[in-house]
Structure formats: C-alpha cells, structure tokens
Structure 1
Amino acid sequence: MSIPDDVIKQPTEVNTENMEVDIPIHDIPANKEVEQVSIISENSTKPPPFKRRKGDDEPKEPLTEVILRRLTKMKEGDTVMLKLPSDAIKVVTIEKNGLIQLGKYGSFPSSQLIDLHYDITYEIIGGSFTSSSSSSSSTSRNSTPLPFLNEEINNKKDKKGKGKSKENDSKSNPGWKNILRPLKRQNVVEAVIDDITETNEHIHDLPEIEKQTLSHEEIAELKLNGMSVEEIIKKQEEAHEKFKLKTEFSKEKWRRRKEKKFSTTVHPLSPSIPNILSHYSERSPTSILHLRMDTLSQILNMSNIRPGGRYLVVDDTSGLVTSAILERIGAKGKILLFTNSDSPPAWGVLQTMNISERELECVKWLNWMEAQEDYERPPPPPEDDNAKPAKVAQRLRKHNAQVAELNATRDELHLGGWDGLIIASTLSPISILSFLTQYLIGSAQLVVYSPYQQILVELLNWSKKDPNYLNDTLSESWERTYQVLPGRTHPMMNTSSTGGYLWSAIRVHPSKYQPDSHFRSKRRKTGNGKSSNKVIEDDNLQKDNEEIQIQVNKKNDIVEVEAEIQNTEGEVIYNLFQ
C-alpha cells in the first residue's frame, strides 16, 4: 500500500544564522495561522519584542487622585504610623488577616484600618459594643469592656515575649473581637487669665506614687465592672483632696495626663513629609543627617522645586529629600538619583510614604561609575553549553532590556538641560559639583546640605574662585516651637541646637569674550620724577604670540598708561586709545 505524498512529514530545518525555527507546513492544521518564534542570539542587538500588558488600553486614573487617596485613606499593604496616647509612634503594616498589638493599649484586627481616614483619633472598643448602647454610662467614650481588660492582663504577663506569637494568630485572642470607632473631639479649655482666682501655692509636689488617689487594684476592679475611662478619671478627681485648689490650666493638664495613662486610642498619621520627618527625628536622626523641617523647607525653596522640573539629586537621608521633591513636583517632572550601590536604593522613607509605582515612574537612578561618559557595561557572563535555549533567550532579553534602560538614562543625563542640583550627602560636595555642574542649564539652582559647617566653608572658598557659580552663600536656619492655646501661648522649653547648614548658588555660563573694561587705562601718582619705558607682561592678557606693551610717560607727576597690542612682527593690531 502506497502512502500519499501529502501525508509524509518532512524533517524540521533549523536556521542557525537567524536562530529561527521553521515549522513543517504539513504538521499545522489548515485553519490555524503560523506563528514564527525568534530567539535572540548573543551577537544580536535587536531589542526584545514589545508585549502589551493587560490593562494598558484601559484609561488610567488621574495622578492627582492617586496622590490624594494615598494621603487620605488607608488600604491593605500600606505602612501606617499609629500615634498612641503616650505620644509614642508605632509603625505597622496593614494585613487582611493580621492582628496589631499595642501593649497595654490593647490590640485590634489589622483589617479594621482598611478604608479608614488618616489624622482621626479612633477608639479601641470590644466587639460586643453596639451603637444602641453608646448612650449608657457603662459604654461611654473610652470604654474598656471585659474582653479588652483580659487581653490587657495577658499582655502584661507576656510582656517579655517579643515578636509574633501563636496567640496573635489564634482566633481565640480577645483582640480579634475589638473594633475601631472615631473618637469625639474634646473641647479645649478656654479661660481668661483675669478670671482665674485659684493658685497652686497650697499644693505640694509629691512623688508619683503618693499622688495616686486610687490604687492599681481599685482601678482594675473599676475596669472589671465596665467603667469607662472618663468615669475612672472622675472617681480620681473626687478622691483628690486638693484638686479644687488647682487652676483651670492645671486641672486640664492633670486630666490629659490621666487620659494618656488609661485611654485606649490610636491616631493614624498621614504619610506626609512633616509627619515622616517628625518620626525619624525622634527615632533615628542620624539616618536623615539631623535634617530639620525648617531646613528641608529652605532646601525646597532655594532649589526652586516646581512641577515639571528636572533635578539631579544626591540623597543620603534615607530618601527623605527625594520624597519631599517628589511630593512637591506632584510626580510631574524628572528626578535622577546617584548612589554608590549597584542595585536600586532601598529607602525606608519611600516605603513608609506608600508611594505607588505610578508616582515613581519619574524617578531614575545611576551608579557613580555608570554616570561617567566613558563607561561601558561589561557583557553578560557566558552561558552554560547545557542550558536550554529558552532560558538563554530569556536571560538575553532581560540583559538587553537593562542595557537599553541604562543607556537611555545615561543619555538623558549627558544631554544636560537639568533645572537644579540638590545634595544632602556625606560625600565631598566639591567633587560632586565638579562633575555634575556641567549638565545644568543657565540660572539653575544648586543647594548643598550638611550637618557640619566646616565642610560648607571649604566649599564656599572653592566656589568663590569658580566663575560657574554666582551668588554663592552659606546660611543656617533657626527654629523655635511654640504652644498656641487660648490664654497659654508660650515657647517650648526644649529645642534642637541646629538644623544643619546650607550652601546655595546659581549656575552661570562664563563668557569667553574679554570686554574692553579689562584693558581700561589706569592713572596713579608716582614719587619718581624720571620718565621711563617699561614692558609689563600679564599672563591673563597674553594670547598666543601677542604681547602687550605699556609705555609710561611722566606728565605733572601723573603717569598715563597707553596700551597697544603688537604681534611678533611688530605691527600694531589693537590700540586702546584709537
């Protein structure tokens, strides 16, 4: 029996030059199209094929809405700073199935924070609490139900244990039943100083233990009975013998102090620059080079940061300066960062601010070595002979994409036209300015921050001799925090000694043209009555083979200087007075 020719399968042919696989036509059904798969070879410079990601055709949300939502509402995966009643700040991450424990202030499910607003004080209450019982005295503001008290007792027993425990993940933990509810705002005490008749002259300062009107056992018993924090504070006021002798301001301070001790509230802080800076200043000031809020505002002002601007940034403040610039430009512009590492910098401030990928599209980075104009990226390591062609092609595509992105960033730097240079680093500012100033446009702003004055003094002496910098100055800001309340406005007792120092200048392009004022005649009196002819050579005025000859003639004890320029043949090519 003979086999038809159209049924015989032909062998597969491989083209080694273009690395393209030819698929036999007889193996493909007639109703399907032929798709040609190409593999990039090592010597190929063809860029990888563009693949449209899912959702690219869909209209994107306005960037302003993305930024506004990031600063107003919490969502799953966000890093949130919780301000406790003791004014301490605890940084947590919102997880759908997580439990946030705050020590003596209780705990609550992490999912309770989802879709809540920032900068609002929330009260931690038991899960059995309902809105219908909110009017009763036992469930008023800052109530402490029995499950919450049991949880507080368990936290005290396990105080030495740190990290996540099995009890946190167990649904039997009483904290899973707690919920968050917005706390009503309290009225500020408004008192007129002239109407105050009480004084503190009959009140003696006693140790904190003797000031306690109720014992810990009595307070625990009141909590077991379901008494709220306000009622507990009221009980302490009644037991305080000399409470009525206090002034209204002193009474308010006493109540605030008790609320910080017994309240179970949290206050999520919005991920804004002032809140982030305040948190890092107390937690780790060295990581942000002791940068202060007033100094940071001066940096943004002197640098003329605006939407649509293009800026070069050298940041060693954990990303604080970069985040401030990114927030000021509204993610509309370009920021090019320089780092010492070979990998993208992992800055804690950018993570704490929950900045999205869309906002980071305008931020690029380069290594100092990659920023050099004569830099060449080394080729990829040789592949194993036994490696699969598909994996080899995948690695080559990834390498080619990285090289293309790197070259695009380098070309953007070397083309110049940048609007400013901001430096907040421990590196030598003179070396950085010498390298990056050439890429700035005219009238670009340059700002250098340093916590040490001597470094910027040396920079100022160096910049005064360089014609590329104009109006270079060295400044220091000063800040004093004030308490502003009705009838009790005063400066705070404690403040920081310094917020660092700033060097600022304007980039100019010096002209090569020498104006006539450089050759202007000079007249001076001399005590010598003899006339003389002198030839004075000036290194700054010599050009190639040209010489400047100055003739000196004596007239009434006044010397007139006539300048003319002659070439090597003795011909006059320029005379100042002609």
Structure 2
Amino acid sequence: MHSSIPPNAYVALKLPSDSTKILQTTPHSNISLGKYGSFPCNQIIGRPFYATFEIADHPDADGHVLRIVPATELHTEALLADGEGDGEAEGDTNTPSIPVPQEDNRNIIDQGSTQQLTMAQIEELKQSSTHAGREIIARLLESHSALDQKTQFSRAKYMLRKRKKYMHRFTVVPMDVGLLTEWVIEQKVPGRIMELRDEVLGLVGAWANVHYGGESEVATDNAGKVDEVVKRARGRWLVVDDTGGLVVAAMAERAGILYPPEVLSGEGFDSSTRQPAKPTLSMEDETPAEGVSASHTTLTVIHPNLQPNLSMLKYFSHDVNEPSETHPLSTHLKTLSWLQLLHPSEDAIYDMVPPEVTEEELASWKPSKRGMHFKKKRRWTRVRNVVDETRAGGFDGLIVATLMDPASILKHTVPLLAGSAQVVVYSPYVEPLVQLADLYSTARRTAYITYKREVAEGAAEDKEEDFPVDPTLLLAPTLHTSRVRAWQVLPGRTHPLMTGRGGAEGYVFHAVRVLPAIGKVEARGVQAKKRRKLADETETS
C-alpha cells in the first residue's frame, strides 16, 4: 500500500516494549521516544516502511542518530533465539521435533548476586560504545551465574526482557484503522471510541456489507479518444458516528476511499518543500463547479451539532474543516445535521438563498468580496444537494454507533433505506440492543399489523407510544459479539494470557430492511389437503 514514509503524515512506531507510538512526520522536527532516545524526523522521511531502525547512543561523524538494522542481522538474532537448545537430532531435518526442556527452576534462587555486572559497569558501556545495547546484553548473559540452570523458556524470557530494556529499536509502519484502534484502547481513553475493538469494527463492516466498488471505467471510441467515463453503481451508506470518526474511517477503508493518492503512491510531493503539490487556479476557475460531491460510494454522516466530530480522520490526512482537494473523502464524505434532515426549512444555511448578482456588479466587487460570495454560494449548493439526496433515501445500509437511544434514530433513518439494505447498530452494552430487538420482533410485528387493522376499522384508538418504531420495516433482528483473546502456544502447553484488559464487551445489532406489502395478504392454494387426499386414496387401493 505505502512505498516510503511521506512528510506531514501520521505513522505508527512499533517499540520493543510491544507498545505503539503514533506521531506526525513533520520535517525539521525532533522526535522523542522517552527512555529509548530521540532522533530528527528528517532521518526517517523518504525511508521505506517496515524498516527497523536503531537509535545510537552517540551519533556518527555525519550526525546520523539512526541506523537501519539489516534483515540479515534480524534473521540471525531470531534464528539464534529459536535454535538455542532445540534438541534436534543430527541428520533429521524433515521431521519436526517438539523440544521438551529437561531442566527445571526448582533449584534457582532469585538473588541479586547471580548477576555479576553492576550498574556502574553498564553505564560505562553506554558511554564507551555507539551500539552499547548489544554489548550490554552479551555481557549480561556472560556474567549471569545461574543462566545454565534456567529452562529454555526462562532463558528466552530473560533475553526478551533485556532486549526491551537495552535495545533502542523501533519499526515504522503505515497508519491504518487497526493500529489506531489498538493505540486508543491501550494507551489513550477507550471511552472516546465507545471501547470499540478492531474485531468488532470488522463485524460491523461485514454485516453492513461495506465493500470496495472498483474503479471507474473509461469508454473510448474507434479513434482512441475518451468518449465518456462510466460510473458503476456502488454503495451509499448512512452513518451515525459518535466515536470521533473511527467508524467512518473503518468504513472508508473497506470502501477504498480513506487514503489519499499521494500517501498510497508516495508521489505528488514537491521536491523543495516536500508538500503535496496543489493545482494552480486561474481566473476562469474562480467560479465554483456545481457537482462538487460524488454520487457513488458515499458515506453520509448525521450529527447532532453544528459541525461533525470526526477528529480521528486527521490521522489519515483529512481535515473536515479544510479538506484537501486530492483526498477521496473530500467528495465521498457528506455530512448533515439532524435539524437539516428532519426540519430543513428551519436550518439557516439550507433556507438562505444567495442573491442573484449580475456579471457587471460582480466585476465591480473586490476580489475578497467576490471570493466570499462564491464561498457562500458553494456552501449553500453543497448543503442543498446533501440534504435533498439524503431525504430522497435509497441508501444501501445504515451504521449506527452512538450512546443515544437507538430506537429514536432508527425511527427516522430506516425509512431512508432501500430494500434489502443492511442495518447495523453498535453498543458497548447489550441492554439497549435487547430492547431494540424486541421492538422489531415477530410478536411485536404481528401485534402492530393487528393494531393498524383495528385502527383502520375504527375499533381502536391510534396510540403511537405503544409502537415507537414500525416493526414491519426490519426483518430478522439478531445480536452478535466478537472478542479476540490472546493465547500462548508453547511446546507442551497452551493457555491464555492472564493480563488481558477488561472493559465493555461490545454488541452488534443486525437486521435487514424490507418493504412491507400494501393491502391484505392472503394465502393461496390447498396443497396440504391435496397431498393428504392422495395419500388416503393410495391406502384404500
């Protein structure tokens, strides 16, 4: 996906302590990793992703603090760690053997005297060598008097602890939704994203049928000239996101509209400033185009405030307030408020019609006033198009992740879906989803149909509080959950890790949008009686 580390983009650093640090590659800045040291950001910009760097205690003559650890060195260390005491028989290379350690730890006394190397000697090694981490680990292994008494597993754990402490290495990996979710849950505030884990995000995207729709097809004539651009019909999803934009980012990643082209290809950066090259606009391009939004593969976000809270999208080079012209989300992501959806005439932006201005009057204005006029007109056109498209309906799916009452949301959003659209609601707790599943259950649907028939015949009063939602609009409501648990699989043992975090389990409600039949539905045919009659004739004959 990514070729090299771009400037002014967010990347993830995998540290030896199995932790992740997310940072922005700002040129001419200094990055600090705490006890691991610091380094200039320019020394990783332009380098390939997934490369392992080592922070030197003392920079070389050229001022380089980082050293790329070659793959041969990493593979050699891994082979030495795995092949220590493997116990394979000579000449038997095809049959895998399970090493069974013969030692045990019963005679080991955990004392400080078993380690002969003192802290003063360790500090002296740090000051005397550029790559002191490997030398310190080697000296620690040599000076440990009880190392030969440890089992293979204990020696591996001991070496792993020393590597995490003294090896100042990190690996730069590209930013994706899984890394961002793991970072927020383990190192930030999990409640900010409603404790939404990566496996539950995958469950939401799978049940919502969010998928990549392919590229546009360009049709050409016999002379080889471009005739038209054929747009395939792709998905349109309605999203209610209170996780700061994490659900939007996950769905956009599945749809293939999350990453900008300059980040994917590593191209499009100016050689002098290392910034994304922006297209130059002429005076003729000052008038905004009407079709500024995409009509295919779109995510329409409904929010309760004046501006949507999509702060998580900044980690993928997208700013909602100042979107980049080259980012796919600038045209494929649409936002509107609940006021604009339910009561558009009461919204100031939707109801404000720009005044008509003649070309002579427009030419007499100052450039700043003319630009402000075009900006207001472009904003009004965009809001009008988004609100009218959303109210027209025809969406292929609904994704809800909020702490609001899900029934109040589905009451207004389910009628906007097309037939066979997927409805997915996430909640960190199961109680709201159990109530929601009861509102769309078969018993509730039967009672609603009977109630509506009695109201039409005048035998009952119309009471909407008994049925807050229309249960005939959704079919087969189900609840799902998923949780990935880490396990240790070692020779002769298998057990789960006992240091897993708790928190909310997380549940997903799923249902399918159906179009209820209009009028009275009656069953046709008497197939059961006919079969029974034929069976009776066969017995008598």
Whether these two folds match at TM > 0.5 is: yes
The one of 429, 432, 448 equivalent to 2:406 is 429
Distance 1:92 1:494, change over 3 A: same
The one of 304, 309, 333 equivalent to 1:345 is 309
Match of 1:179 in 2: 66
- Superposed counterparts of 1:191-230, under 5 Å: 191=86, 193-206=98-111, 213-226=116-129, 228-230=132-134
Distance 1:213 1:422, change over 3 A: farther
The one of 510, 516, 528 equivalent to 2:516 is 510
Match of 2:327 in 1: 358
In structure 2, what residue type is equivalent to 1:214?
L
Larger Rg over CA atoms? 1
Distance 1:180 1:484, change over 3 A: farther
Higher helix share goes to which structure?
2
Match of 2:202 in 1: 297
Distance 1:295 1:211, change over 3 A: farther
Distance 1:363 1:108, change over 3 A: same
Distance 1:77 1:461, change over 3 A: same
Q: Distance in 1 between matches of 2:378 and 2:208?
A: 34
Which ranges of structure 1 fall in alignment gaps of 5 or more residues? 1-67, 126-143, 149-173, 383-387, 521-578
Quote how far apart the aligned CAs of 1:287 are.
1.0
Q: Distance in 2 between matches of 1:316 and 1:96?
A: 33
Match of 1:441 in 2: 418
Match of 2:277 in 1: none
Per-residue displacement from partner, 1:89-115 (whole Å, max 9, x unpaired)? Answer: 332221221111222211111011112
Q: Distance in 1 between matches of 2:346 and 2:82?
A: 68
In structure 2, what residue type is equivalent to 1:476?
T
In structure 1, what residue type is equivalent to 2:384?
N
In structure 2, what residue type is equivalent to 1:86?
S
The one of 189, 194, 197 equivalent to 2:82 is 189
Q: How many equivalent pairs are there?
A: 399
- Is 2:462 the partner of 1:493? no
In structure 1, what residue type is equivalent to 2:211?
R
The one of 244, 260, 274 equivalent to 1:318 is 244
**8 A contact 2:115–2:143 mirrored in 1:** no
Distance 1:219 1:415, change over 3 A: same
Q: Distance in 1 between matches of 2:103 and 2:434?
A: 55
Q: Distance in 1 between matches of 2:303 and 2:51?
A: 38
Quote how far apart the aligned CAs of 1:403 are.
0.5
Q: Distance in 1 between matches of 2:492 and 2:383?
A: 60
Q: Distance in 2 between matches of 1:175 and 1:463?
A: 69
**8 A contact 2:354–2:376 mirrored in 1:** no
Q: Distance in 2 between matches of 1:486 and 1:351?
A: 44
Match of 1:87 in 2: 18
- Superposed counterparts of 1:95-106, under 5 Å: 95-106=26-37
Match of 1:473 in 2: 478
Match of 2:536 in 1: none
Q: Distance in 1 between matches of 2:382 and 2:372?
A: 15
Q: Secondary structure at the match of 2:475?
A: strand
Q: Distance in 2 between matches of 1:365 and 1:488?
A: 52
In structure 2, what residue type is equivalent to 1:371?
L
**8 A contact 2:53–2:66 mirrored in 1:** no
Q: Secondary structure at the match of 1:502?
A: strand
TM-score (norm 2): 0.68
**8 A contact 1:81–1:269 mirrored in 2:** yes
Distance 1:354 1:374, change over 3 A: closer
**8 A contact 1:199–1:245 mirrored in 2:** yes
Identity %: 32
Per-residue displacement from partner, 1:283-331 (whole Å, max 9, x unpaired)? Answer: 2211111112221111111111112311001111121111111111112
Q: Distance in 2 between matches of 1:300 and 1:241?
A: 55
**8 A contact 1:314–1:424 mirrored in 2:** yes
**8 A contact 2:9–2:24 mirrored in 1:** yes
TM-score (norm 1): 0.64
- Is 2:209 the partner of 1:245? no
Per-residue displacement from partner, 1:10-29 (whole Å, max 9, x unpaired)? Answer: xxxxxxxxxxxxxxxxxxxx
Q: Secondary structure at the match of 1:189?
A: helix
Match of 2:46 in 1: 115
Quote how far apart the aligned CAs of 1:459 are.
1.1
Quote how far apart the aligned CAs of 1:194 are.
4.5
Distance 1:195 1:76, change over 3 A: same
Q: Secondary structure at the match of 2:35?
A: helix
In structure 2, what residue type is equivalent to 1:314?
V
**8 A contact 1:430–1:459 mirrored in 2:** yes
Which ranges of structure 2 fall in alignment gaps of 5 or more residues? 87-96, 213-233, 258-295, 319-323, 356-363, 445-470, 527-541
Q: Secondary structure at the match of 1:375?
A: helix
**8 A contact 1:418–1:444 mirrored in 2:** yes
Quote how far apart the aligned CAs of 1:249 are.
1.8
Distance 1:480 1:86, change over 3 A: closer
- Superposed counterparts of 1:494-573, under 5 Å: 494-497=499-502, 498-517=504-523
Match of 1:399 in 2: 376
Quote how far apart the aligned CAs of 1:354 are.
3.6
Quote how far apart the aligned CAs of 1:275 are.
1.4
- Superposed counterparts of 1:257-336, under 5 Å: 257-282=161-186, 283-307=188-212, 308-331=234-257, 333-336=297-300
Per-residue displacement from partner, 1:322-381 (whole Å, max 9, x unpaired)? Answer: 111111111271110111221243422x22234574221211111111122543543499
**8 A contact 2:429–2:505 mirrored in 1:** no
Quote how far apart the aligned CAs of 1:406 are.
0.5
In structure 1, what residue type is equivalent to 2:309?
P
Distance 1:508 1:280, change over 3 A: same
**8 A contact 1:109–1:176 mirrored in 2:** no
Match of 1:419 in 2: 396
Indicate the structure whose relative CO is greater, using CA pairs within 8 Å and at least 6 residues apart: 2
Distance 1:228 1:389, change over 3 A: same
RMSD, matched Cα: 2.8
Distance 1:274 1:80, change over 3 A: same
In structure 1, what residue type is equivalent to 2:15?
L
Distance 1:477 1:177, change over 3 A: closer
**8 A contact 1:474–1:501 mirrored in 2:** yes
In structure 1, what residue type is equivalent to 2:484?
E
**8 A contact 1:106–1:175 mirrored in 2:** no
